[in-house]
Amino acid sequence: LDGPNTLSVCDELVLTGSRSTGATAFPLEFHWQLVGHTPSSSEASLLPVVDLLNSTREAVVRIPAASLSVDGTYVFNLTVRN
């Protein structure tokens, strides 16, 4: 899982698992999760991020700046299956 440690206010967050590899010839499936965040945000404010992660099965996910808190810290998990 690669991504930046810090962002500018207007930057989208780009996370990538593109360096992941599998043991078989089957395509990889990516499962993204938001597993932690500060400051404590309401579930409603995090819903756009969670929905985006739940709908993405690709190696790269792009989270718009408007979906993130300016002073927030986020922790993501990536599980790769094939």
Beta strand 29-38 pairing with 73-81 = antiparallel
Distance between CA 78 and CA 2 in Å, rounded? 10
Distance between CA 13 and CA 4 in Å, rounded? 8
Distance between CA 68 and CA 76 in Å, rounded? 13
Tell me if 14 sits within 8 A of 1, measured CB to CB.
no
**Mean pLDDT, contiguous 10-residue spans, the chain (82 residues):** 80 91 86 87 81 94 89 90 88
* CA 19 from centre of chain: 15
Scan for tokens 């986020």, then name that residue. Answer: 74
Residue 43 confidence (pLDDT): 72
Residue 17 confidence (pLDDT): 93
